[in-house]
């Protein structure tokens, strides 16, 4: 398929960091690959020194202007590259260097001087991980269609027009003037940066140089005309916004296939590029994000439903899949919007890739997303065209800024209820007094809800205090300029500048909490195999000396994910209770809170500081993730699991809701296996399911991979919204996957 990509691949893999050297995927931007031409600008030390000198000039300016001038300095002075091995430009300074003189200082200022009580309260809760919270800027999606329609010059021109219109109506306040000044500074600097790249490209004589020069000249002066120019513009916007301007971009395109299709169609029809040439550009484009190597993966989504109910799957959709498969990468990760109109050939192609080890896909069911979003007052059209971002979150395109700053440990409140509000990991009283003893399970269950309600009230109050200062800490002129709503209201998109300014509460350990509640009900109150006081002793001793009791509890049928009526009843009740308390709760930015069944890595982080729990879990072990069962506890098959998931009512989760499915290779082999996975998807979608992803594993293969890692260099594992390589996982992480694989034999 490729003419040059395979020869250039080694270079591309080393563009952002050297693959032969140690690498921390949680901090990818601290690295560099090959050296850039020193004549083109400053190295990292020079950029840092220059920013430190600039600080004296900008420190007293309004924050948007101060930040814009710092971004301007980096763009004017960073080293650049136009390389013979790449169709995409190079930016040397991509480690958010401006933070040292802007965002980090303002963050410290807010927490130390404006809301010092937040740190005082949060300190103990963070040690115990009853909840976790921070100022979140990691879930933005720009209006890519507007970016590609206008280009950098068009975005700046539109902002200038809005400023003139506002000034004609009334004099701008200092804050409004700073808002527009920052946009002017940043976009003028971006255009100047593209011009610098263009002029540098003219000094190159390699085979790609002319095409790159033509592209950069067009992007300097206007909007892209073809698919290569469109991808180059998207890449430049991404790198500046995420790696310099300090705001993560959590989707590449508003549907990558839909966003680029008009260019693809025009290029093919007019002979600008052949399908093969476009495939080559796509390979170079996707390889940028693979080579960056972010642990969480860089997402883009595909497919969906059009204005007239038609599927948006097109020729480019299939080409993207073909290229992705051909180059054999797992980052970027791909979210696929599916509906009843999605072509079977398209879903079959993806399913076949998944069952052959390409597990970087998550299916996003449009009926469930639409129902969930419309329950908050979002229009049907806004729900239909929603963006998918991050792992599997969804938001109104171009009109919603949803932060994700709050993770709630649902399991921790079980121990708080058992210990009358005391956290047994830290010894601190972090809950409320709900009693030392309980006469029946109903009383204990009410104590659990009281503890959880207390944690929710404390945590959301802290989040509200922080989110009042989002614009102060990290103003977003580059992102705000793309938002028509922000320009119309002259307010930062992360403050009150979006139509929907929402805040997400993410649930961690749902199934672990349900299983623990059911264990207390069955073994303490129903069967009375252990008294409540004895249970405290058991947990304090981490089950040591109580192995037989633990075995009984682990083998109890009352585990979430097994279609057990009683368990599912309590799971549904807890789910409804949480969502009723969270959805529509006013936040500090003129929006609302939204419930999310999504745990990211907190199922491990919070598990590490949660002592033994009644479900048989040992102290420090991971908890359940997303809406999935505890590892190894779903013993009645996939149908039973999906029945339990449906009982929870996915449509209550107005931000995201994902089930992790593990299947044995024998269950998905051949045509019958393909049909079975398709039927499974349809069943999940019919029951308002929202997100679903797969691991196809054989426990014996995983054990062999532990013993012989050299044989399994490319074995991928879908974790919790992203993929990792099996060999990069810790031994205890691997053991948990083996435990679940054993349960599905």
In a domain, 494, yes or no: no
Helix (H, G, I), strand (E, B) or coil at 693: strand
Mean pLDDT of 50-64: 98
Identify whether residues 708 and 601 lie together within a single domain.
yes
User: Position of tokens 């308390």?
Assistant: 581
The confidence score (pLDDT) of residue 160 equals: 98
Last residue of a domain, one of 303, 329, 355: 329
557, 576, 647 from 564: Cα distances, Å: 7, 18, 10
In a domain, 719, yes or no: yes
The dihedral through the CA atoms of 507, 511, 512, 513 has a sign that is positive
Residue 517 pairs with which residues in a beta bridge? none
pLDDT digits (tens, 9 = 90+) for 567-593: 999 999 999 999 999 999 999 999 999
In a domain, 479, yes or no: no
Mean pLDDT of 609-635: 96
Burial, 245: exposed, middle or buried (Cβ in 10 Å; 0-12, 13-18, 19+)?
A: buried
Identify whether residues 83 and 232 lie together within a single domain.
yes
User: In terms of DSSP H, where are the helices of 29-141?
Assistant: 44-58, 63-77, 103-109, 116-128
In a domain, 216, yes or no: yes
Last residue of a domain, one of 304, 329, 354: 329
Identify whether residues 504 and 617 lie together within a single domain.
yes
Cβ atoms 227, 276 nearer than 8 A:
no
How sure is the predictor about 371, in pLDDT bands with cuts at 50, 70 and 90? very high
Identify whether residues 617 and 522 lie together within a single domain.
yes
CATH code for the domain in which residue 514 is found = 3.20.70.20
The confidence score (pLDDT) of residue 174 equals: 98
Give percent of the chain with pLDDT exceeding 90. Answer: 98
Last residue of a domain, one of 279, 305, 329: 329
How many domains would you assign to the chain?
A: 2
In a domain, 618, yes or no: yes
Mean pLDDT of 441-447: 98
In a domain, 631, yes or no: yes
The confidence score (pLDDT) of residue 358 equals: 92
Identify whether residues 323 and 419 lie together within a single domain.
no
Mean pLDDT of 328-356: 97
Identify whether residues 621 and 712 lie together within a single domain.
yes
Cβ atoms 169, 498 nearer than 8 A:
no
Sequence-distant (6+) residues with CB within 8 A of 561 are: 511, 628, 629, 630, 633, 634, 636, 640, 641, 644, 645
The confidence score (pLDDT) of residue 745 equals: 63
Identify whether residues 30 and 175 lie together within a single domain.
yes
Q: Distance (Å, rounded) from C-alpha 599 to C-alpha 426?
A: 22
The confidence score (pLDDT) of residue 586 equals: 97
Per-residue tokens: 543: 């089950």
Residue 325, domain extent: 5-117+142-294+318-329
Cβ atoms 628, 535 nearer than 8 A:
no
In a domain, 90, yes or no: yes
Question: What is the number of H-type helices and E-type strands within the chain?
Answer: 29, 15
Mean pLDDT of 288-309: 96
Identify whether residues 102 and 237 lie together within a single domain.
yes
Mean pLDDT of 376-393: 96
Identify whether residues 323 and 427 lie together within a single domain.
no
Q: Answer whether the bond into residue 332 is a cis peptide, omega within 30°.
A: yes
pLDDT of 741 strictly over 90: no
The confidence score (pLDDT) of residue 740 equals: 87
**Average pLDDT taken over every residue of the chain:** 97
Per-residue tokens: 520: 């207390």
Q: Distance (Å, rounded) from C-alpha 129 to C-alpha 118?
A: 15
In a domain, 713, yes or no: yes
Give percent of the chain with pLDDT exceeding 70. Answer: 100
Going through 561-619 in order, the beta strands assigned E by DSSP cover: 593-597
13, 33, 92, 570 from 10: Cα distances, Å: 5, 11, 19, 53
Q: Which residue in 392, 322, 293, 252 sits closest to 724, CA to CA?
A: 293
End-to-end CA gap in the chain: 39
Mean pLDDT of 599-618: 97
Q: Distance (Å, rounded) from C-alpha 58 to C-alpha 98?
A: 12
């Amino acid at each position: 398929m490729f003419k040059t990509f395979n020869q250039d691949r080694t270079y591309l893999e080393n563009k952002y960091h050297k693959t032969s050297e140690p690498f921390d995927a949680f901090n990818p931007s601290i690295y560099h690959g090959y050296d850039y031409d020193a004549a083109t600008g400053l190295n990292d030390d020079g950029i840092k020194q220059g920013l430190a000198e600039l600080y004296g000039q900008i420190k007293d300016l309004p924050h948007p202007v101060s930040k814009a001038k710092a971004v301007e300095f980096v763009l004017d002075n960073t080293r650049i590259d136009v390389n013979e091995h790449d169709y995409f430009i190079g930016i040397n300074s991509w480690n958010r260097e401006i933070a040292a003189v802007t965002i980090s200082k303002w963050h410290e200022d807010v927490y130390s001087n404006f809301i010092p009580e937040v740190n005082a309260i949060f300190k103990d809760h963070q040690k115990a991980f009853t909840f976790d919270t921070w100022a979140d800027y990691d879930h933005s999606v720009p209006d890519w269609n507007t970016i590609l329609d206008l280009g950098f010059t068009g975005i700046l021109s539109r902002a200038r027009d809005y400023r003139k219109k506002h000034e004609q109506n009334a004099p701008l306040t200092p804050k409004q003037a700073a808002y527009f000044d920052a946009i002017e500074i940043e976009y003028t600097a971006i255009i100047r940066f593209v011009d610098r790249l263009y002029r540098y490209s003219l000094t190159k004589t390699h085979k790609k140089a002319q095409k790159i020069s033509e592209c950069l000249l067009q992007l300097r002066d206007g909007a892209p005309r073809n698919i290569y120019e469109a991808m180059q513009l998207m890449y430049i916007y991404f790198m500046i916004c995420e790696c310099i301007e300090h705001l993560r971009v959590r989707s590449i395109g508003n549907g990558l296939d839909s966003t680029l299709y008009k260019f693809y169609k025009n290029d093919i029809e007019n002979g600008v590029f052949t399908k093969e040439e476009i495939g080559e550009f796509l390979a170079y484009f996707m390889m940028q994000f693979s080579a960056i190597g972010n642990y969480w993966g860089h997402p883009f989504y595909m497919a969906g439903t059009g204005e007239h109910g038609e599927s948006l799957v097109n020729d480019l959709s299939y080409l993207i899949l073909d290229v992705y498969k051909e180059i054999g990468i797992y980052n970027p990760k791909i979210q696929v919007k599916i509906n009843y109109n999605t072509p079977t050939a398209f879903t079959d192609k993806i399913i076949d890739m998944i069952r052959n080890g390409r597990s970087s896909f998550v299916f996003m069911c449009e009926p469930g997303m639409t129902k969930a979003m419309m329950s908050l007052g979002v229009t049907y059209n806004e729900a239909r065209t929603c963006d998918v971002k991050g792992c599997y979150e969804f938001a109104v395109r171009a009109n919603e800024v949803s932060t994700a700053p709050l993770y709630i440990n649902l399991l921790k409140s079980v121990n708080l209820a058992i210990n009358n509000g005391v956290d047994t990991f830290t010894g601190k009283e972090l809950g409320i007094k709900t009693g030392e003893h309980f006469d029946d399970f109903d009383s204990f269950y009410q104590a659990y809800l009281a503890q959880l309600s207390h944690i929710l009230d404390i945590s959301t109050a802290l989040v509200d205090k922080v989110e009042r200062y989002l614009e102060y800490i990290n103003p977003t002129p580059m992102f705000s300029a793309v938002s028509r709503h922000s320009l119309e209201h002259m307010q930062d998109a992360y403050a009150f500048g979006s139509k929907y300014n929402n805040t997400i509460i993410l649930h961690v350990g749902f199934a672990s909490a349900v299983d623990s509640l059911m264990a207390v009900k069955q073994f303490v109150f129903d069967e009375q195999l252990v008294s409540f006081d004895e249970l405290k002793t058991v947990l304090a001793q981490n089950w040591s000396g109580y192995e037989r009791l633990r075995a009984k509890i682990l083998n109890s049928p009352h585990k979430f994910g097994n279609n057990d009526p009683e368990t599912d009843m309590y799971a549904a009740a807890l789910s409804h209770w949480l969502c009723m308390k969270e959805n529509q709760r006013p936040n500090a930015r003129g929006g609302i809170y939204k419930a999310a069944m999504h745990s990211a890595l907190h199922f491990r982080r919070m598990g590490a500081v949660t002592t033994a729990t009644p479900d048989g879990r040992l102290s420090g072990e991971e908890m359940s993730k997303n809406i999935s069962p505890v590892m190894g506890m779903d013993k009645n098959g996939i149908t039973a699991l999906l029945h339990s998931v449906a009982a929870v009512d996915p449509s209550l989760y107005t931000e995201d809701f994902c089930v992790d499915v593990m299947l044995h290779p024998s269950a998905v082999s051949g045509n019958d296996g393909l049909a079975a996975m398709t039927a499974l998807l349809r069943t999940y979608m019919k029951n308002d399911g929202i997100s679903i992803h797969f691991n196809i594993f054989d426990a014996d293969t995983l054990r062999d991979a532990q013993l012989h890692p050299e044989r399994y260099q490319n074995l991928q594992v879908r974790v919790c919204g992203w993929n990792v390589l099996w060999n990069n996982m810790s031994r205890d992480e691997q053991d948990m996957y083996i435990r679940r694989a054993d349960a599905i034999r």
